[in-house]
Amino acid sequence: MEIFSGLLKGFSVALTPVNLASCLIGVLVGTMVGVLPGLGPAAAIALLLPVTFGLDTSTALILLAGIYYGAMYGGSTTSILVNIPGEAASVVTCLDGYQMAKQGRAGPALGIAAFGSWIAGTIGTAGLMILAPWLGRAALRFGPPEFVAVLFCAFAILIYLAGGSFLKATLSCALGLFLGVIGIDSISGVPRFTFGSLTLMDGVGLVPLVMGLFGIAEVLENIELSLRREIYSAKISYLLPRLSDWKRSAGPIARGTVLGFFLGILPGGGAVISSFASYALEKRISKHPEEFGKGAIEGVAGPETANNAATSGAFVPLMTLGIPANAVMALMLGALLIHGVQPGPLMLQKHPEVFWGVVASMYIGNVMLLVLNLPLIGVWVQLLKVPYRVLFPLILLFCLVGAYSVNNNLDDVLIMLVFGVGGYLMRKFEYEPAPMVFAFVLSGLFETSFRQSLLMSGGNFLIFFARPISVVFVVAGLCLLLLPSVGRRLPGEVRG
C-alpha cells in the first residue's frame, strides 16, 4: 500500500502542467541529444544544469531525468540510419541495426528499438519503485564507517570497469578526490589549495567543471573529426515489427531488461556495459550466431532494451544511498545538492514528492517517447544533416553563458575553459573523465564520513574492519583493485 500511495502522490506531482511540460521538453531534448553524434547525455545535462536553478526541485529532476532516458531512445536512430552511434550506449546497435537498414528493414529495426526501449523503461521504473524503498530502509543501518566502505567499493568498481588503462582510471579518480577538497576545510576552517583565490575559497564549482569536461572538450574533440555521414535515404516504412520479428525479439527484450536494470545499479556499470553485455549474451545463446553483425534483429532488441533498463537502475543507488552509478547520475546528485536535497536513506521520508514525482514522470516520459519518436523519425533524419560547424558555436555560447550565470563570476568561465582544455587532453591521452567527475561529486561525503569514523574510533583504522557491512564492502573493493595486478602477474608466473 505504501508504494501505491507514493505512486499516486507522484502522479499528482508529475501531472501538473509545469512538470508535464518539463517532462516533454526533457525527453525531446534527450532524443535530440541522442540523435546528434558526439554530444551525449552527460554533456547535455552539464549544459542545461544552470537552467534548472530557478526551477522547483521536482521539475528540475524531471527535466534532467527525461534528457537521460530520452538520449537512450535517440541514440538508436543514428546508429541504425547513419552507422554512427549518437551516444556511447548505442555503439553496439550499429553492428546489426545499420545492416538491417541496408537490407531495407530500417523500419522494423527502429520500431523494435522503440518498443523494446519502452518496455524496458516501464519495467525498469517499476523495479526502481519497488526496490528503492526497501533499500532505503536497509540503508538506515549505515553509519559513517559503512558509508566510507560503500564509497570505497564504488570507486573500486568504477576503476575496475573503466575502459582503457587501470592506472589511468585510478589517477582520474584520485584527481577528482583532490579537486573535491579544494576550498575551506569544513572542520578546521583552514583554506586548502586556494592560492589566495576568493572563488576557490568556496571550492571548484560543479557546473564549470562538468561544462568544461563534457561541453568544451566535446566541441574541441569533434572539430578535428571529419565524419562523413552516409544517411539512409530510402523511405522508411513498416515501423511496426512483424510477428516473426516479435518472436525473435521477445527473449532478448526480457533478458535485456533484467540484465540492464541490475548492471545499471552497479557503480561504473551503466548503459554502455549493459548494451555490450546484452549483445554478447544474445550472440552466445543464439541458435544462429552467424547472423549477428549481418542484420539480426536480436542484436538491436537486446542492447537497446538493456541500455534503457540501465537508466532506471542507475536511479536506485542515487536515491537510496546518495551514491551515483555513473557520470550522469553524478550530475543528478549535484543538481539535487544545489537544490538543497540530500539523497540517501531519508530521502523518501523528507522529500517524497521529489522521489515519487520523478518515478511517475518516468512512466509518463516513456509513453511520450513511444508516441512521439516513431512519427518524428523524419525530423531527426533532417537534424542529422545540420553541419557541425553550425552546432559547435552554439554549444560554446551556451557553455559560456551557463558558467557565468551561476555566480555572475568571470572566474567560473576561466575555470570552465581550463577544464575544457584539460578534458580535451584527457581524451587525447585516453584518460576517462567519468571517474574524475564521480569522485569529485562524492569527495565531500567520503571525506566527512572518513573523518567522522576516525573520530568515533579515536584514530583507529580498524573500525572499517570491525563492522560486518563495512568489512564486506572494504574487502570487495580491495579485491577489485588488486585483481588487475594479480591478472598481469599470473601469466608471467605460469611462463616461468
CA distance 120 to 300: 13
pLDDT tens profile 193-214 = 888 888 888 888 877 887 788 7
Query: 114 with 70: CB under 8 angstroms?
Result: no
Q: What percent of the chain has pLDDT over 70?
A: 88
First to last CA, the chain: 63
CA distance 362 to 27: 10
CA distance 212 to 481: 29
pLDDT tens profile 6-54 = 888 889 998 999 999 999 999 988 888 777 765 677 777 877 877 887 8
Pair type for strands 183-184 and 191-192: antiparallel
Q: Which single residue is written with the C-alpha cell 509545469?
A: 18
C-alpha pair distances (Å), 432 with each of 47, 209, 427, 436: 19, 14, 7, 8
- Among 173, 53, 163, 106, smallest CA distance to 441 is for 173
pLDDT beneath 50, residues of the chain: 234, 490, 492-496
Pull the grid cell for residue 89.
550506449
pTM of the model: 0.73
- Average confidence score pLDDT of the chain: 81
pLDDT tens profile 387-412 = 767 777 877 877 787 777 767 788 88
Query: 325 with 267: CB under 8 angstroms?
Result: yes
